[in-house]
């Protein structure tokens, strides 16, 4: 099993421990194994979305119905979803988790990802949402804690996953 | 067809255990006026996300039918959600679109391509197994009957007249978060 698959297994195990039963996803190459693992998880209803703010709405609706939900996407999806995150976080006060691949930082080798790395944390802070960065898979416990924090704070929590947390140190996925 | 007539046709056909999700704007205001007995969540903002919210609720509560009363401006903001719903297999979700082809709350400006957009065609092309349009009360009654008799997702676009729908003078005594909590308490009580 690849490092990415092993890490995906641990991340999805953390999601199930956190009580997640609904997941919405939009792919990023770093997230392929996580999304595949979610799709294979029998206790999670997985919805593939066309835009990340659909995923925010789905997670909010699931929370409204009493379930725990996660949106899995690239950090571009966090940026795109700013209005939806603020609306469901601050106006409706509905809690859920956003797990986002943290593209555009020091470990990313693609120039077109850089702008996302420059602005993501500031945008999430501006949205007044809890924000955590998982540097490596050994910090996967943050996923479960962030869901708890989301429910205590009654708003979404955003967890950004570094490349090492998703793929290890290998350089296969782009 | 008047907006209020379309809303009454829906209300007459709903099951007491249906859950209604209502998008923002004039659709919200006409449903408030009817004082329907069904458990209702008024989705308010953010605009363009009510179908996704309703889908999430449908996924969380497969034991209940979720009926979204949607505005055409809200739906036009995010047509991709119809593709998402078509792939989500939430058989307990139904959508009725109030289509007046303009942004009523925003001042009555026309939708882009007003008069030439078919939400039935967009839904079918997005993979929905069934969708319809209704241009008068007779067609609305028939298509709503079919929508609610089905065992799978469906969408009806109800073409309603453009009528002024001003903001209420008073926003009301409760916040969205308080309304959300009240909805969740009643939902829990109805288990």
Residue pLDDT, tens place only, B112-128: 998 999 999 999 999 99
For A14, the token pair is: 């953390």
For A121, the token pair is: 């944390």
Distance of CA A11 to the CA centre of its chain: 10
The closest alpha carbon to B102, from B73, B61, B144, B59, belongs to: B73
Domain, as residue range, for A76:
3-167
Which residues of A fall within a CB distance of 8 Å from B76? none
Mean pLDDT score, B153-163: 96
Q: Which residue is closest to B59 within chain A, CA to CA?
A: A62
Where is average pLDDT lowest: A72-81, B67-76, B109-118, B176-185? B109-118
pLDDT score at B180: 97
Residue A172 placed within a domain: no
Whether A91 sits inside 8 A of B51 (CB atoms) is no
Which residues of B fall within a CB distance of 8 Å from A49? 52, 84
Across B18-128, the runs of DSSP E, i.e. the strands, are 19-22, 39-42, 66-71, 93-99, 102-103, 109-110
Minimal Cβ distance to B56: which of A50, A51, A58: A58
Strand partners, B95: B68, B155
Residue B107 has pLDDT above 90, yes or no: no
Return the ∠ at Cα B79 (arms to A161 and B129), rounded to 5°: 105
Mean pLDDT score, A153-160: 98
| Confidence label for B156 from pLDDT (cuts 50, 70 and 90) | very high
Residue B100 has pLDDT above 70, yes or no: yes
For B116, the token pair is: 């030439």
Whether A53 sits inside 8 A of B78 (CB atoms) is yes
Residue A93 placed within a domain: yes
pLDDT score at A172: 59
| Mutation target vs A (from B56, B78, B126, B178; most A CBs, 10 A cutoff) | B56
CA gap A39, A36 in Å, rounded: 5
Residue A117 placed within a domain: yes
Minimal Cβ distance to A84: which of B49, B55, B87: B49
CA gap A59, A54 in Å, rounded: 9
Mean pLDDT score, B149-158: 97
In the DSSP assignment, the letter for residue B70 is E
pLDDT score at B89: 83
Length of chain A: 174
**Percent of chain A whose predicted confidence (pLDDT) is above 90:** 96
Whether A67 sits inside 8 A of B59 (CB atoms) is yes
- Classify A20 as helix, strand or coil: strand
Full set of structural domains in chain B with CATH: 3-189 (3.40.50.970)
A56 CB within 8 Å of a chain B CB: yes
Residue B166 has pLDDT above 80, yes or no: no
In the DSSP assignment, the letter for residue B172 is -
Residue A174 placed within a domain: no
pLDDT score at A174: 63
Mean pLDDT score, B86-101: 96
Distances (CA, A) of B188 to A152, B50, B140, B191: 19, 21, 33, 6
Which residues of A fall within a CB distance of 8 Å from B189? none
Residue A134 has pLDDT above 80, yes or no: yes
Q: Specify the number of domains making up chain A.
A: 1
pTM for this prediction: 0.96
For B87, the token pair is: 């792939």
pLDDT digits (tens, 9 = 90+) for A44-75: 999 999 999 999 999 999 999 999 999 999 99
For B185, the token pair is: 């308490």
A49 CB within 8 Å of a chain B CB: yes
Residue A111 placed within a domain: yes
For A95, the token pair is: 């809690």
Residue A14 placed within a domain: yes
CA gap B160, B99 in Å, rounded: 6
Which residues of A fall within a CB distance of 8 Å from B60? 21-22, 61-67, 69
A45 CB within 8 Å of a chain B CB: yes
pLDDT score at B164: 81
CATH of the domain at A100: 3.40.50.970
Residue A142 placed within a domain: yes
| DSSP H or E stretch at residue A173 | none
Q: Which residue is closest to B190 within chain A, CA to CA?
A: A65
**Percent of chain B whose predicted confidence (pLDDT) is above 90:** 82
Distance of CA A76 to the CA centre of its chain: 11
Residue A57 placed within a domain: yes
pLDDT digits (tens, 9 = 90+) for B16-67: 999 999 998 888 888 998 899 999 999 999 999 999 999 999 999 999 999 9
């Amino acid at each position: 099993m690849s490092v990415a698959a092993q890490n995906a297994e641990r991340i999805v195990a953390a999601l199930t421990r956190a009580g997640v039963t609904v997941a919405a996803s939009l792919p990023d190459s770093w997230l392929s194994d996580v999304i595949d693992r979610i799709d294979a998880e029998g206790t999670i209803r997985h919805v593939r979305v066309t835009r990340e703010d659909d995923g925010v709405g789905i997670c909010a609706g699931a929370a409204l119905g009493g379930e725990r939900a996660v949106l899995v996407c690239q950090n571009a999806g966090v940026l795109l979803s700013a209005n939806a995150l603020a609306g469901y976080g601050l106006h409706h006060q509905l809690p859920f988790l956003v797990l986002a691949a943290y593209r555009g930082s020091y470990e990313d080798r693609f120039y077109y990802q850089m702008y996302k790395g420059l602005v993501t944390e500031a945008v999430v802070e501006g949205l007044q949402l809890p924000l955590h960065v998982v540097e490596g898979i050994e910090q996967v416990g943050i996923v479960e804690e962030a869901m708890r924090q989301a429910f205590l704070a009654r708003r979404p929590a955003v967890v950004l996953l570094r490349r090492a947390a998703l793929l290890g140190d290998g350089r296969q996925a782009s | 067809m008047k907006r209020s007539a379309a809303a009454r046709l829906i209300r007459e056909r709903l099951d007491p255990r249906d859950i209604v999700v209502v998008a923002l704007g004039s659709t919200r205001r006409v449903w408030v006026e009817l004082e329907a007995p069904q458990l209702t969540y008024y989705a308010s903002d953010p605009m363009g996300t009510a179908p996704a919210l309703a889908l999430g609720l449908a996924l969380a509560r497969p034991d209940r039918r979720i009926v979204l009363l949607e505005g055409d401006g809200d739906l036009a903001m995010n047509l991709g959600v119809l593709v998402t719903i078509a792939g989500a297999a939430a058989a307990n979700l139904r959508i009725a679109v109030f289509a007046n082809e303009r942004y009523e709350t925003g001042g009555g400006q026309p939708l882009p391509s007003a008069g030439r957009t078919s939400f039935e065609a967009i839904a079918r092309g997005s993979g929905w197994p069934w969708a319809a349009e209704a241009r008068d009360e007779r067609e609305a009654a028939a298509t709503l009957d079919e929508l609610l008799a089905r065992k799978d997702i469906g969408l009806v676009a109800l073409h309603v007249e453009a009528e002024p729908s001003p903001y209420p003078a008073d926003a009301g005594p409760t916040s969205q978060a308080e309304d959300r909590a009240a909805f969740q308490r009643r939902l829990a009580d109805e288990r």
